[in-house]
Structure 1
Amino acid sequence: MTQVVLCGYYGYGNAGDEALLATLLEQLPAHCTPIVLSGNPQATTALYGVAACDRYQWRQVLRTLRRSQVFIWGGGSLIQDVTSWRSPLYYLGLMTLAQHLGCRTVAWAQGIGPVKSPVYRWWLRQLLRRCIAVTVRDSGSAALLRQWQIPHQQGADPVWLMRSPPPSAPSRTPTIAVSLRPHPTLTPERFATIAAALRAWQEDAGLEVLLLPFQPCQDLPLAEQLYGQLIASQTRLLCLADPRQIKAVLAGVQGAIAMRLHALIMAASVGCPCFALSYDPKVSHLMADTGIPGWELSALPATPHVLLSQWQQHWHPNPPYLNYQAYRDSAQVHQAALEGLGDTF
């Protein structure tokens, strides 16, 4: 058996990163024994039934790396220095240590950048050149790696392939799932516009709004604030820890409005029409790659009726971007990269 260390933003209750972990665990070759670096090892073990260690217990991390043969950056926008300089330092440092200790390293399903620091950019290029496989999930990351002349493969986000339980019976009332997150571009004025447009939709069509905080420690206060501005009898708030259950919920609604990247991917992957509110290049890349409609938050209409009109205009069955089999096929690239490593382990 081969021990494989999985490194990502795991154990923090972020459904998008947990979905990446769930998918990676599904796709690992059978001869691999995973151990997850987690912010909450007990929760990770309970949710997925795999070994986990505290990502900040450095002696335990070092001991784990010494006993392992493979180290994987497990998906997501791990290397970006826009929100924090500490985060890329952690991930770059860990891969450097893993390579120094003789682990074969893989950058799996990465969304790379923005990386503004020249030091981080140089460091990242050196590490990627020493990886035995590099896959990325968007055209922007692929363009950057082509510029750096890093061999890689591009595929759709692997969460397009994440398994989920069968959906429950859909509600008789039309339901739209909403996933917002705090961000400087979601100003109080824009938040008020979104809330007013949703309430007007409820009043006009009897619509039910299902609020889905994807990272409750960040998103729940915002969801509760939005709940207070909508019609209570037509609004639900649901917190789920398991991303596979969230995907099943999205399979039972009639649409989704989301800032979170993986809320959009999960919705589209189960045939749910969706509308993006982009706060980040990774969401804009998804919109460009798939044709999912939406707005850059910085350009959101200032009046609720314009926003509501846009939502209603795009809400029709079987929109063209929901040819999701094409994205499922594209996402196979990441699994194929893992399967192809068997002989080198």
Structure 2
Amino acid sequence: MPRFCLIGSYTGRNAGDAAILENVVRDIAEACPGAVCEVLTINPAFMRRTYPGLPLAPVATLPWNLSVKTLGLPLLLSVIRCDAVLVTSAILFDIKFWNPLYNYLTSLLLALPLAKLLGKKVFFHSVGVGPVYTAKGRAIVRYLLNLADGVTLREEASVPIMRELGVSVAPVMAADPALNQTVPAAAAEEMRARVESDLGPGPFATLNLNAYVAEWTGDKAGESLTRERFEAEMAAVVSGLVDDWGLGVALVCTHHMDEPVMEAVLRLADRPGKTVLYKCRHFDHRQLMAVMARSEFMVGMRLHCQILAVAAGTPCVALNYAPKVRHFMRMAGLEDFVVDMDGGFSAARVLERCNALRENRGTVLQEMNTRVGELKKAAKNAPAELARVMGG
């Protein structure tokens, strides 16, 4: 019975990561029947509560376990116990390199060479590579990838980065595992009733924002897109959708850190009875996806909100806070509905893209569903490659 050590950002605070983990574990069970997945986490209770029935064993990485997030004794012991180490998600970047609460490269430098020394397999499951800005970061990411017995990528944008780094391992193109997330019937019915109770039976849009506002700088008017201005513009978007379009708006918060931004937008919009905020601390990723699935469209900022929405058949207008957002929207056939976070960002620009999406909904959905169907199939390249690496 193979045993896998999974390294990724699995804290229970991010609904996107929760969806990734569910589908990675399902992939492993499909590729290697009877497998057990040891998942390094600061929140074992969340793992047990969220994934009943999956072959998942939480490994606590709290300070009293002699660990700083994933960096510590539990990681070493898991590598020793397991047959393979799997690196997942998008943790191959060098921002805040020396901070193990944020960056995972030090943990990987501990785990992967040890795995190879002990004769274990090393596999990168549907990862994104980058950004890597420093010479040190480039050297370390190259070294880690060259330890791999197999690499599968979630996005084509990682290929030129690997080439520029000089990685010798040939990657296999896959796609984000969360694209194959589904909504159980019970969750769909629960959230249908919940939304109708909160917003009424009429049509509604969904909205997702994140807290990375401070990283955006000047627009064409020479102003800075401050958090306060951003919140005011997005509140105007909500007001426009309610007052001018007759829609309800369900704000969907998929990370604990984003709650203050979304609470501020809800407060500034001030449309009681037509707006509601659903937080991932109260609803799991399946329930939040059920809300997205019922909405007419989403205005989304976090990448995995867009991924879960299109996986559920709901088109998106994306707020482009990072290159990965535009890249995914291009893959999904939705690049025309990307709003950049500079150059005069405004509520009017967001609403104009929403209107274009509504007017062309039939054509947009047909193209999106075709593209997303292809991506869902591509995501299954990862478990197939894992089976090959493990000798299956």
Distance 1:122 1:227 in 2: 44
> Which residue in 1 is equivalent to 2:377?
329
Q: Deviations over 1:17-41 (max 9, x none)?
A: 1111011111112231111001212
Could you tell me which amino acid in structure 2 is paired with residue 110 of structure 1?
V
Which region of structure 1 is more displaced relative to structure 2, 160-169 or 11-20?
Answer: 160-169
- Go from structure 1 to structure 2 and tell me whether the alpha carbon gap of 1:163 and 1:83 turns closer, same or farther (over 3 Å shift): farther
> Which residue in 2 is equivalent to 1:90?
106
Q: Deviations over 1:147-167 (max 9, x none)?
A: 424310112212111232133
Q: Deviations over 1:65-93 (max 9, x none)?
A: 11111100122x20112365530433432
Could you tell me which amino acid in structure 1 is paired with residue 340 of structure 2?
E
Match of 1:232 among 265, 272, 283: 272
1:17 aligns with 2:14: no
Task: Report matched runs for 1:108-257 at 5 Å.
Answer: 108-147=125-164, 148=166, 149-166=168-185, 167-168=188-189, 169=192, 172-183=201-212, 184=214, 185=216, 187=226, 188-216=228-256, 218-230=257-269, 231-240=271-280, 241-257=283-299
Distance 2:338 2:3 in 1: 42
Taking structure 2 as the reference length, the TM-score comes to: 0.81
Could you tell me which amino acid in structure 2 is paired with residue 22 of structure 1?
E
Task: Report matched runs for 1:21-60 at 5 Å.
Answer: 21-28=21-28, 29-49=32-52, 50-55=56-61, 57=67, 58-60=72-74
Could you tell me which amino acid in structure 2 is paired with residue 321 of structure 1?
M
Could you tell me which amino acid in structure 2 is paired with residue 51 of structure 1?
A
Distance 2:344 2:45 in 1: 41
1:63 aligns with 2:77: yes
**Preserved CA contact (<8 Å) 2:202 2:248:** yes
SS of 2:329's partner is: helix
Distance 1:20 1:196 in 2: 32
- Go from structure 1 to structure 2 and tell me whether the alpha carbon gap of 1:257 and 1:64 turns closer, same or farther (over 3 Å shift): same
- Go from structure 1 to structure 2 and tell me whether the alpha carbon gap of 1:199 and 1:298 turns closer, same or farther (over 3 Å shift): same
Could you tell me which amino acid in structure 1 is paired with residue 354 of structure 2?
W
Distance 2:178 2:40 in 1: 20
> Which residue in 1 is equivalent to 2:300?
258
- Go from structure 1 to structure 2 and tell me whether the alpha carbon gap of 1:232 and 1:97 turns closer, same or farther (over 3 Å shift): farther
Deviation at 1:190, TM superposition (A): 2.7
Aligned residues: 341
Deviation at 1:178, TM superposition (A): 0.8
**Preserved CA contact (<8 Å) 1:79 1:91:** no
**Preserved CA contact (<8 Å) 1:72 1:106:** yes
Deviation at 1:281, TM superposition (A): 1.8
1:307 aligns with 2:350: yes
- Go from structure 1 to structure 2 and tell me whether the alpha carbon gap of 1:276 and 1:91 turns closer, same or farther (over 3 Å shift): farther
**Preserved CA contact (<8 Å) 1:139 1:289:** no
- Go from structure 1 to structure 2 and tell me whether the alpha carbon gap of 1:173 and 1:283 turns closer, same or farther (over 3 Å shift): same
**Preserved CA contact (<8 Å) 1:54 1:61:** no
SS of 1:205's partner is: coil
Q: Which runs of 5+ in 2 are unaligned?
A: 217-224
Q: Which runs of 5+ in 1 are unaligned?
A: none
SS of 2:129's partner is: coil
Runs of 4+ in 1 over 4 A off after TM superposition: none
Deviation at 1:306, TM superposition (A): 3.5
**Preserved CA contact (<8 Å) 1:6 1:36:** yes
**Preserved CA contact (<8 Å) 1:264 1:276:** yes
> Which residue in 2 is equivalent to 1:338?
386
- Go from structure 1 to structure 2 and tell me whether the alpha carbon gap of 1:182 and 1:46 turns closer, same or farther (over 3 Å shift): same
Q: Deviations over 1:273-293 (max 9, x none)?
A: 111101112112112322322
Q: CA RMSD in A?
A: 2.0
Could you tell me which amino acid in structure 2 is paired with residue 97 of structure 1?
L
